[in-house]
Chains A and B, each alone.
Chain A
Amino acid sequence: MMLRDRFDQLLIVALVGVLIFTAVLMAGAGPRDDNQDAQAANRRFEREMLHQARVAFIERHYSPVITLRDNGSLPDALLKLEELSRTLPGEAHNDLLSGDILLRMGQFDRAVSKLAKAVRSKADYVDSASPLSERPLIESAVSEGLPLIRDRLRVQPDNLTLAKVLKDGYYLQSRLAGGCE
């Protein structure tokens, strides 16, 4: 039974003392102390820096492609992207811009595959909260491209490449639908 002897009583008193001391420290520190505020601010700052660095990186390397795309020189923009893919292999933005340009050119199956590849390596592209979000582009690729790809696959059921593109389309659809993962 607790409090039976002096040792128990001492332990209880010490426990209450430690709890009171902790509460006093917590209350005295306010909701956050300066050091905590600084740590949290540093983390936010680093995250913001990373976002900005990525946006700056994209602008620096891909602005010629974006200019060509906006001027309607779509094949030239694709050529420029191919050139960039040699210096920046595996860069998700390359796939995203390829998907965008191919979509404008009406090449839905290639566009969907490229966009799926971009989203697989950078989920931020489907995230409305991200500064890198390209959700409207991906939504339009899915809404325009997926029915066409499905129709073509109905006519050519043995076309394995097209089946893979359809799977990419479903992947994008699933990512757009949200969920926890």
Chain B
Amino acid sequence: MSLSLRDRHLWVVLAAGAGLGVLGALLSVWGNPQNSGICVSCFIENTSGALGLHDNERMQYLRPELIGFVLGSILCASLFREFRSRGGSAPLARLVSGVFLIVGSAVFIGCPIKLFLRLMAGDISSLAGLFGLIAGVWIGLQGLARGVDLGRAEDERGATGLLVPAGFILLLVFLLARPSFLLFSDRGSAAQHAPLFISLAVGLLLGVLAQRSRFCVTGSVRDGLLMGTRSPLLWGFFAFLIGAFVTNIFMGRFTFGLYGQPGAHLEYLWSFLGMLLVGWLSVLIGGCPFRQLIKAGEGDADAGLAVVGMLLGGGLVQSWGVAATAAGVATSGKISVLVGLAFVLLISLLFRDRTV
């Protein structure tokens, strides 16, 4: 099967990739932390902090982009009659996977989207994470080929797929009403944010595009490894890279180098292992943290559980000092990544269909 320029899906994927790259870089210009215009794991940690799940006063903000991703996805899925309440495959494994997605990202300092935003802003220290992500996706694919499978989501009674989007609608109400129990940082990276309605609009737009296109960074790497240049997602991924690179150049945000990069550390082994964990888990549960949010918006309760796990993980990585800083990775972070790798090895053993 070859790629056709007349394929409308290809153009939607390209629009999603380019949108994610351009808007991801622009959100930093509009106020989000440097190289973190979009970082699902950082935003999850901020949101957990805003909800009181950790007490790092520098990481508490209810990020509107996350709300936009989920609500954009449910709006688009409903409009195109693709909303389908489904779930029920290995729910606990997916919940814990969500926790470890954030552990791996926090040790690297960023989700796969931020990895490439960092790289396209000239931060070559993120290359260690890139190699880790590719290795993780490759190992995950080897597992899939040998029968490792968490199972397929089945249609569910009771519209449980609505629960996570409903939770995000509640978060939107919280964000607009600002009840006193919400916590907002007045300094640190969480105090840096683009204007609320711009963030929300960008989130909604990207949620819509990602739902229509099924665009996902780890999915692109996976399809690239499996199908090469015949994969539309791979072309969307290139559009994402080019969009971010050109925007950073035009906005004067490109600083090539290894040292002194924003939100980066020089412990390459742990960057590699953190992203390896994220890549591997993403293949097993069907998508990176961003894709989990989009799928949760489409009614996938399994992805919804991964999102709940991510929120829990966002609280834990800050409370337990797992998250890395520019100073490096704490021992608790290193141990957590190793525990995460033990977990993914264990589920690979337990969820393997040996008849394949």
Tally of chain B residues near chain A (CB < 8 A): 38
In-complex Cβ contact of A174 among B179, B189, B191, B265 (8 A):
B265
Roughly how many angstroms separate A127 CA and B189 CA in the complex, as a whole number? 9
Stretch of A36-44, A58-66, A69-77, A83-91 lying at the B interface: A36-44
- A residues sitting closer than 8 Å to B (CB atoms) are 26, 31-32, 35-37, 39-40, 43, 47, 120, 123-124, 127, 129-130, 142, 167, 170-171, 173-181
Q: Closest Cβ of chain B: how far from A15's Cβ, in Å?
A: 13
Stretch of B85-93, B272-280, B320-328 lying at the A interface: B320-328
Q: Closest Cβ of chain B: how far from A112's Cβ, in Å?
A: 12
B3 touches A (CB below 8 Å)? no
Q: Give me 11 A-to-B residue pairs in the complex whose CB atoms sit less than 8 angstroms apart, sorted by A's number.
A: A31-B177, A32-B178, A129-B186, A167-B266, A174-B260, A177-B263, A178-B33, A179-B36, A180-B33, A180-B39, A181-B323
Q: Closest Cβ of chain B: how far from A23's Cβ, in Å?
A: 11
Majority-rule SS of A interface residues: helix
Of residues 68 through 110 on chain B, the ones whose CB sits less than 8 Å from some CB of chain A are 109-110
In-complex Cβ contact of B259 among A43, A120, A170 (8 A):
A170
Q: Closest Cβ of chain B: how far from A32's Cβ, in Å?
A: 7
Roughly how many angstroms separate A35 CA and B181 CA in the complex, as a whole number? 11
Majority-rule SS of B interface residues: loop
Q: Closest Cβ of chain A: how far from B255's Cβ, in Å?
A: 8
In-complex Cβ contact of B189 among A130, A167, A173, A181 (8 A):
A181
Closest 5 CB pairs of A and B: A179-B263, A173-B260, A179-B262, A180-B36, A177-B262
Q: Closest Cβ of chain B: how far from A122's Cβ, in Å?
A: 11
Of residues 31 through 84 on chain B, the ones whose CB sits less than 8 Å from some CB of chain A are 32-36, 39, 42, 57-58
- B residues sitting closer than 8 Å to A (CB atoms) are 32-36, 39, 42, 57-58, 109-110, 114, 177-181, 183, 186-189, 191-192, 255, 259-266, 323-327
Question: Given A180-B39, A181-B323, A181-B325 in contact, is the A47-B186 Cβ separation under 8 Å?
Answer: yes
Roughly how many angstroms separate A176 CA and B263 CA in the complex, as a whole number? 10
Please determine whether A180 and B180 come into contact, CB atoms closer than 8 angstroms: no
Q: Closest Cβ of chain A: how far from B298's Cβ, in Å?
A: 22
Provide the residues of chain B in CB contact with A40, threshold 8 Å: 180
